[in-house]
Amino acid sequence: MGDVKNYIENHREDFDKGILTKENIVKNPFDFFNQWLNDAIEQEVKEPYAFHLATSVDGIPQNRVLYLRGLEEEGYIFYTNYDGNKGNELAKNPNVSMNFFWAELERQVRITGVAQKVDEKISDEYFASRPRKSQLGAWASQQSKELDDYSLLEERLEMFDKKFKENVPRPPHWGGYIVTPKSFEFWQGRPSRLHDRFLYEQNDSEWIIKRLNP
Ligand SMILES: Cc1cc2nc3c(=O)[nH]c(=O)nc-3n(C[C@H](O)[C@H](O)[C@H](O)COP(=O)(O)O)c2cc1C
């Protein structure tokens, strides 16, 4: 335990993989995000599509890791259970924040935006592309509800496996949300904690870009 405490208190990582300037940033934040996501994929970052999604209800924030599963012109899609905690939270307050951190690239992207359910057809198509076991899992899991024993989940899985002998239909409580961004912040680590940050905020159809202090 002493070693962990010592490591946390004293380990230092310096960042020097890149520089952001007014000249080299991409002016359209969607294109910039795609470029950085592409860099993360090409550099074989593990799970480059994983991000933290923050929700907030009654002043109490919550966040959790999710997978980005759709890149659309209007925004970013993830899939989940509509009846779990985040589903209930989004029904009360659709304002969210997404955070991608690609440690290997020393980059972070923060996005704020508004989440709304995608068309059922989009959820149907994505659900149909999932492996059968994941499809059955979406039926079996009552996401975020208390589970007395893991065996109860396995029993439900078996029950749905028997019920849906061939195709597994999409459960009505499972589907996608699309986040329409209102702002992006691109962060590139620099030596001595003097990082580069560029904030993009939407003003009508224009994106206003500001450099921020680290
Ligand atoms: C790497 C990783 C990827 C995940 N991807 C998803 C996902 O795409 N959808 C999802 O509903 N939960 C995903 N989870 C589980 C969530 O973090 C969370 O536990 C779950 O969605 C319940 O959250 P909630 O109680 O706030 O609704 C993932 C977890 C990890 C660690």
Looking at residues 77-91, what average pLDDT do you find?
A: 98
Cβ–ligand 1 contact at 209 (below 6 Å): no
Output the pLDDT for position 145: 97
Q: Which atom of ligand 1 is nearest to the CA of 80?
A: 11
Task: Name the closest-CA residue to atom 6, ligand 1.
Answer: 66
* 8 A C-beta contact, residue 114 and residue 108: no
Looking at residues 146-155, what average pLDDT do you find?
A: 98
Cβ–ligand 1 contact at 86 (below 6 Å): yes
Output the pLDDT for position 68: 98
Cβ–ligand 1 contact at 54 (below 6 Å): no
Structural domains of the chain, with CATH:
13-128+173-212 (2.30.110.10)
In this predicted structure, the answer to whether residue 1 has a pLDDT above a threshold of 80 is no
Output the pLDDT for position 118: 98
Q: Which atom of ligand 1 is nearest to the CA of 87?
A: 27
Cβ–ligand 1 contact at 135 (below 6 Å): no
Q: How far apart (Å, rounded) are the C-alpha atoms in residues 66 and 60?
A: 19
- Say how many Å lie between the CA of residue 158 and the centre of ligand 1: 22
In this predicted structure, the answer to whether residue 2 has a pLDDT above a threshold of 90 is no
pTM, entire model: 0.96
Query: Which candidate, 75, 117, 71, 63, places its Cα nearest to that of 94?
Result: 117
Note the pLDDT tens digit of each residue in 21-67. Answer: 999 999 999 999 999 999 999 999 999 999 999 999 999 999 999 99
Average pLDDT, the chain: 97
Cβ–ligand 1 contact at 152 (below 6 Å): no
**Active site amino acids:** 193
5 pLDDT band (50/70/90 cuts)? very high
In this predicted structure, the answer to whether residue 212 has a pLDDT above a threshold of 80 is yes
Output the pLDDT for position 181: 98
Task: Name the closest-CA residue to atom 4, ligand 1.
Answer: 66
Note the pLDDT tens digit of each residue in 96-125. Answer: 999 999 999 999 999 999 999 999 999 999
Output the pLDDT for position 205: 87
Output the pLDDT for position 86: 98
Please state, for a pLDDT cut of 70, what percent of the chain lies above it: 100
Mutation pick for ligand 1 pocket among 45, 49, 51, 64 (CB with most ligand atoms within 8 Å): 64
Task: List strand residue ranges (DSSP E) for the chain, in order.
Answer: 50-57, 60-67, 70-71, 76-81, 95-102, 107-117, 174-188, 196-203, 206-212
Output the pLDDT for position 64: 98
